[in-house]
Amino acid sequence: MTSIGIHDLTVSTAHHVIDLAELAEAGGVDPAKFRVGLGQDRMSVPAADEDIVTMGAAAALPLLERHGTEGIRTVLFATESGVDQSKSAGLFVHELLGLPRTMRVVEFKQACYAATAALQSALGIVARNPGERVLVIASDVARYELDSPGEPTQGAGAVAMLVTADPALLAIEPVSGVAARDVDDFWRPNDSTTAVVDGRLSLTAYLGALTTAWDDFAARGGVEVAEIDRFCFHQPFTKMARKALKGLAQHTGADLKDSLQEETFPYNRELGNTYTASLYSGLASLLDHDDTLAGKRIGLFSYGSGAVGEFFTGIVQPGYQSLRRRDAVEAELDGRVPLTLAEYRELHSAEHPSDTDWETPRVTQGPFRFTGIRRQARQYEVRQA
């Protein structure tokens, strides 16, 4: 049987950055509460002329430059930071990237789980026609109220994945365990630009979805926990993944040490919460930082508040190191422009009306810009070389 999975994987983020130590000190909080208690160091913040579309397009561009567009007939865009109630953010990306007209483009939404729903759909498309390739993009901006408990778990970033037959990075195995439950642990009402979260309930819902999904995975013939060499969990903050591994260990009776997931943390400690992109930026970090993964099995758990979870596995392919992008990711992280706390608060509070025309200031130097609103429609441009 032909294997199907992730052929290549890229990460991108926003223009600005906030050091959480500064945010802690300004609020009279011990910085260790964020650095150790949450497991976070910094968080990316979008400039006025960027959003999920510009980040998503920037993440996808290197994939197309490396592999071309032949065979790509589908773009699946996952986000919980949608820019339109009807039109897929993927269509903006499709135009910015100059992709062929003969494509299906759609947006997926179910909190942070949406990227896994898109990935599973992509696997099905390729299984039906192994000659096709699917571009999956996950892009989000995590926003909470200023001075709220959720503020230090904000962030921004995007991941793009090329899903193919005979993948060069990760072959996804067929067994999957799933969980769903209607629970109000986290949501964003239509009339709000920031999310509402019950932190204690969200922790409980996350761990409950993990154990339910694991039990379903095991019941459907999934491998034993001892056969999994590394774990990669959804990371709203990296300490949550540590809690998840501990919870899975208690549930299964296995001895699961943090070393089994430690290399999934470096990127997310810098990006902050990237919602749909979080699990897969953790995967990118693992592949970029661990030299010994060829032939190893990775267990992945995706969670989306509200709540949906899925546990599945994949086998890392020989030669995966040749596709690494660690230098590029670290250069982008190092190149972010720091904001003062006053600048950050002003940017966070800025209103973006859709009923009047307006233009964004030119801030970023990336390949794509959000330029503003004209006749109630969002406008984007490709930066000219």
Residue 174: how many other CB atoms lie within 10 Å: 14
Q: Are 305 and 196 in contact (CB under 8 A)?
A: no
Coil, helix or strand at residue 93: helix
Place of tokens 């810009």: 369
Alpha carbon distances (Å) from 71 to 95, 124, 160, 189, 385:
17, 15, 16, 38, 27
- Residues in Cβ contact with 342 at an 8 Å cutoff, skipping those fewer than 6 apart: none
Instruction: Quote the CA–CA distance of 195 and 143 in Å, as a whole number.
Output: 6
Q: Tell me whether residue 313 is exposed, middle or buried, using C-beta atoms within 10 angstroms of its C-beta: 0 to 12, 13 to 18, 19 or more.
A: buried
Concerning whether 234 is annotated as a catalytic residue, the answer is: yes
Strands 170-180 and 155-165 come out as: unpaired
Amino acid present at 326: R
Question: Which one of the listed residues 7, 50, 80, 310 is annotated catalytic?
Answer: 80
Alpha helices in the chain (DSSP H): 20-26, 32-35, 52-67, 89-96, 114-128, 199-219, 238-252, 266-271, 278-289, 326-334, 341-349
Question: Which one of the listed residues 7, 112, 263, 310 is annotated catalytic?
Answer: 112
Q: What angle do CA 221, 214, 296 make, to 5 degrees?
A: 70
Concerning whether 232 is annotated as a catalytic residue, the answer is: no
Alpha carbon distances (Å) from 238 to 131, 162, 281, 294:
37, 25, 12, 25
Strand partners, 72: 133
Question: Which one of the listed residues 7, 15, 16, 234 is annotated catalytic?
Answer: 234
Concerning whether 289 is annotated as a catalytic residue, the answer is: no
Active site residues: 80, 112, 234
